[in-house]
Amino acid sequence: MAELAAAPGLVADHARVRDDPRHAAWVRVTHWVSALSVLVLIVSGVAILLAHPRLYWGETGSLETPSLIDLPLPFVLDVPIRGPGRYLHFLAAWISVFTGLVYVARGLAARHFARNLLPARRELTTGAIRRVIGKHLRFELSSEEELASYNVLQRLSYSSVVFVLFPLLLWTGLAMSPAVTSVFPFMVSLLGGQQTARTLHFFAACALVLFLVVHVAMVCQTGFKRRMRAMITGRGPVAREPS
């Protein structure tokens, strides 16, 4: 997630691009804290899953009951990290939640989402989306003007992660906690049971992993050094209106 100085659609054919301050410090800090916590969540989540790689639908599920999906993974009950992995998973989850709340609150106050993540209406046409998809499928390098702003696919994917995927992961994660559902039973009853929450949590996590893979691939395609430098130092290509 990043804060750009250019609004959607601002970059024109003759726009000037300067190497100016691009990412605010709060964006960079929340980005890297979130990246680290998500990495810990993925590793610890896999360790937890290996103890019972079956998914169910409803309130209960066990080896004696039919499963919804048998994942092609071995039952590994003695994974060294499985026990500590649960505590590590919960710790990383709460760090991610706190960081996300800071990011959303600061982003709303700074109008970061409206200016940088939400696509403009003219960007949501079939032709515009098709051109962006075709460019990425052909592995074309991005121009200086294109590097100065996010394209429509990036805006849609980042917005979906922030406002759909992360809230779904939080909801389904809390719905698996007996301590939470004893106080707020509706959180699990709306989903249809704790095993349903676990299954939805798994697929949401898979979607997040897919997003990360595509995100890293797009960073590499659109200029890895510049993107990394911008997210570390805060400086990068920013579009300016022609004078």
Can you give the pLDDT at residue 169? 96
Can you give the pLDDT at residue 128? 73
Classify residue 239: in a domain, yes or no. Answer: no
CB 204 within 8 A of CB 168: yes
CATH code for the domain in which residue 215 is found:
1.20.950.20
Classify residue 55: in a domain, yes or no. Answer: no
Predicted structure pTM score? 0.79
Cα–Cα distance for residue pair 27/25, rounded to 1 Å? 5
Lookup: tokens for 55: 């998914």
Can you give the pLDDT at residue 2? 42
Cα–Cα distance for residue pair 211/143, rounded to 1 Å? 23
Can you give the pLDDT at residue 7? 41
Angle at 127 between CA 125 and CA 133, to 5 degrees: 105
Classify residue 42: in a domain, yes or no. Answer: yes
Can you give the pLDDT at residue 26? 87
* Three-class secondary structure of residue 7 per DSSP: coil
Classify residue 161: in a domain, yes or no. Answer: yes
Can you give the pLDDT at residue 110? 86
Q: Please classify residue 155 by burial: count the beta carbons closer than 10 Å to its beta carbon, then call 0-12 exposed, 13-18 middle and 19+ buried.
A: buried
Classify residue 63: in a domain, yes or no. Answer: no
Can you give the pLDDT at residue 146? 58
Cα–Cα distance for residue pair 131/12, rounded to 1 Å? 16
How many domains in the chain?
Answer: 1
Classify residue 172: in a domain, yes or no. Answer: yes
Classify residue 110: in a domain, yes or no. Answer: yes
- Mean pLDDT of each 10-residue bin along the chain, 243 residues long: 42 46 82 94 90 91 88 78 78 94 91 82 76 68 62 83 94 92 94 95 96 86 79 68 42
Classify residue 1: in a domain, yes or no. Answer: no
Q: Which domain holds residue 107?
A: 22-50+72-233
Can you give the pLDDT at residue 101? 94
Cα–Cα distance for residue pair 171/200, rounded to 1 Å? 10
Buried b (16+ CB within 10 A) or exposed e, 31-47: bebbeebbebbbebbeb
Lookup: tokens for 38: 């998500």
| 196 φ, ψ (degrees, to nearest 5) | -65, -40
In this structure, the number of other CB atoms found within 10 A of the CB of residue 108 comes to 11
Can you give the pLDDT at residue 142? 60
pLDDT digits (tens, 9 = 90+) for 81-122: 566 778 899 999 999 999 999 999 998 998 888 887 887 777
DSSP 121: G
